[in-house]
Amino acid sequence: MLECRDLIEHQIYWKLRMGSAQFWFDNWTDLGALYFQVPVEFGIDDDIHNVNDLVENGMWNVDKMFESLSEDLAHHIVQNIRPPTESSQLDTSFWMLEIRGHFIVKSAWDYLRRRANPRLAYKMIWVKGLPFKISFFMWKVWKAKLPLDDFLRKLGYSMPSKCWCYADPKEESLLHLFFTSNAARSVRSYFLRRAGISLDGLSLHQAITKCWTAPVVPRLKPVLQALPAYIVWELWKRRKSLKYGEVVSVSRVIYQVSSTLQALVQLKRPGLHVPHKWLDVQTMMEQGWIKVNTDGACRGNPRRSSIGFYIRDEVGDLIYAKGREISEGTNNVSEAVAIAETDSMLLKNIIEESWKPPWYITEHVEEILRLKEQSIIKVTHIFREGNTLADHLANYALDEGNTECHGFWDLDSKGRRIINEDKMQCPYIRVKAQHVAACESCWFANSCFCFTVQEDNHEPRQWSFWINAPAHAQDAANGFRLQEHSKNRGNHYRRNGSYHKHSNKAGMGQNACPESTISTATEEDIVRRA
């Protein structure tokens, strides 16, 4: 422990309160202990013990600071670090290797040890929520450490070998049991075919790795990560049952895998609830109030960061908006710098003092709490769909440069559109891109917009936006609706008092449009055009 002390003590940061930290030997500047930062030609002033020895009347003693330190260190302290306050609270220490600032032996060990590059397999085998016995069994499969006939033969035990497949029995081996047998292929195909994953020409390890690394939405990642472990576990149970006289069908194995996957999903998301109506719209303030929406953007963690915020009055009109780049940091830092109505639940709970802040944003949080005491302020959380303008300003600062707006017309076209949609109480719908074939010049133009959605490994589905023509005043109030075409018969649409039949062919009307009018688009493009 004493050998590690010289390395570990530099990871302890002292937040100044009354200035009780040691001036030379504690890391209170975020640069490390000054004892190791001062050039050789500068001597150590033994009269300076604590940080408050260089404070007079609540201000830094600049002359003494420049006498004791090099010019760059003195400038850094004077410009970036606030002098200690005259309080009875001792300086607070934070362990910089942990977000909450508490010392944990594990983080110190990880900092000191020299680790080899982590292997993907050993990271993906252990799934949170998966029973330990299944994860451990998956590890034994990956390492080929199961007591099968091929493994015993490697140990020098020769014996007759036969697998427990009734249809096509072969020599028992790990590869045959879990990958090439008819049962293994049937179970694997049942689940992976629906996920669009093909394992043709792959080995057992390659097939498992492909399941782990399949490009799916984040919510499905744990399911596909656990799927190979569940499959090999149930195949092993089937093998043991067959060996001792119990018949287990492949359908039973599929049912067991499905049940365990369902239990994993319920464990991962116990409170999963999809409401009937989404309320991600802007709400107007009471009379006499103003609203400040904030957001932070970070291109990496840590990497380039920016903030965006805008102020609106009680009727929703823009008063002021700004987006600017800040110093490099994490997403939590950018959210803390930009904070009243925020899409960060973490910062909202921290400001309400329900949660303890990470050590590296304590200074920003303390400044926010001081400002909060000076006025009547309500801090609320809003989903990102309702915080679109602040997000746009933050990303605009990273992509185009800093921006400052004193009114509606100072915003760019996208910002003005967002303001208008907010005032109209227009909900924001998150749409994911899919392959779409769209026909824009059908014979029923200005009345219906037809398109076909082709999802991966699914048959095409034909949809139409019904957009009422302006000439029909009574129908125009109905807006538009999205309707899926029937698979067995066409759909009829009313126009100018008559009905016309729309063909079930993908994206084509009764009078087929020329092929040149078919274009590729996304659902988001379709919504925007409609």
Q: Which residue did the predictor score with more confidence, 239 or 42?
A: 239
Q: Which residue did the predictor score with more confidence, 356 or 502?
A: 356
How large is the average pLDDT for residues 279-304? Answer: 70
Q: Average model confidence (pLDDT) for the chain?
A: 72
Highest mean pLDDT among 155-159, 297-301, 378-382: 155-159
pLDDT for res 467:
38
- Domain count of the fold of the chain: 4
How large is the average pLDDT for residues 410-430? Answer: 77
Residue 339's pLDDT band (boundaries 50, 70, 90)?
very low
pLDDT greater than 60 at residue 445 = no
**Within a domain: 275:** no
- The range of the structural domain enclosing residue 469 comes to 435-529
Residue 282's pLDDT band (boundaries 50, 70, 90)?
low
pLDDT greater than 90 at residue 10 = no
How large is the average pLDDT for residues 265-286? Answer: 61
Q: Which residue did the predictor score with more confidence, 460 or 185?
A: 185
**Within a domain: 274:** no
d(CA 70, CA 38): 7
pLDDT tens-digit series, residues 346-371: 666 666 667 677 766 777 777 777 77
Q: Are residues 320 and 360 in the same domain?
A: yes
What pTM value is reported for the model?
0.39
**Within a domain: 428:** no
pLDDT greater than 70 at residue 506 = no
pLDDT greater than 90 at residue 220 = no
pLDDT for res 141:
92
Q: Are residues 440 and 377 in the same domain?
A: no
Q: Are residues 125 and 264 in the same domain?
A: yes
- pLDDT above 70 coverage of the chain, percent: 68
Residue 344's pLDDT band (boundaries 50, 70, 90)?
low
Q: Are residues 397 and 335 in the same domain?
A: yes
Q: What number of residues does the chain have?
A: 530
Q: How many helices (H) and strands (E) does the chain have?
A: 20, 17
Q: Which of 67, 85, 112 delimits the end of a domain?
A: 112
pLDDT tens-digit series, residues 151-163: 888 888 877 777 7
pLDDT greater than 60 at residue 18 = yes
d(CA 265, CA 41): 64
**Within a domain: 500:** yes
**Within a domain: 381:** yes
pLDDT tens-digit series, residues 48-58: 888 888 888 88
Q: Nearest CA to 437 among 361, 517, 512, 500?
A: 517
Q: Which of 213, 236, 268 delimits the end of a domain?
A: 268
pLDDT tens-digit series, residues 226-246: 999 999 999 999 988 988 888
pLDDT greater than 90 at residue 443 = no
Q: Are residues 303 and 388 in the same domain?
A: yes
Q: Are residues 86 and 152 in the same domain?
A: no
**Within a domain: 429:** no
Check the CA dihedral 243-248-251-254 and report its sign: negative
Q: Are residues 198 and 335 in the same domain?
A: no
The encoded tokens of residue 3 equal 């050998």
What CATH number does residue 416 fall under?
Answer: 3.30.420.10
Residue 19's pLDDT band (boundaries 50, 70, 90)?
confident
Q: Are residues 208 and 322 in the same domain?
A: no
Q: Are residues 129 and 219 in the same domain?
A: yes
How large is the average pLDDT for residues 191-202? Answer: 83
Q: Are residues 76 and 148 in the same domain?
A: no
Q: Are residues 134 and 260 in the same domain?
A: yes
Q: Which of 402, 423, 444 delimits the end of a domain?
A: 423
**Within a domain: 204:** yes
Other beta carbons less than 10 A from residue 412's beta carbon? 14
Residues 258, 262, 267, 272: what is their CA dihedral angle, to the nearest 10 degrees?
A: 160
Burial class (CB in 10 A: 0-12, 13-18, 19+), 520: exposed
How large is the average pLDDT for residues 78-97? Answer: 83
Q: Which residue did the predictor score with more confidence, 366 or 519?
A: 366
H or E, element range at 439? strand 435-439
The encoded tokens of residue 346 equal 């973490």
How large is the average pLDDT for residues 483-501? Answer: 37
pLDDT greater than 50 at residue 449 = no
d(CA 514, CA 458): 25
**Within a domain: 246:** yes
pLDDT greater than 60 at residue 60 = yes
Q: Nearest CA to 120 among 209, 233, 215?
A: 209
- pLDDT above 90 coverage of the chain, percent: 5
Q: Are residues 418 and 493 in the same domain?
A: no
pLDDT greater than 90 at residue 195 = no
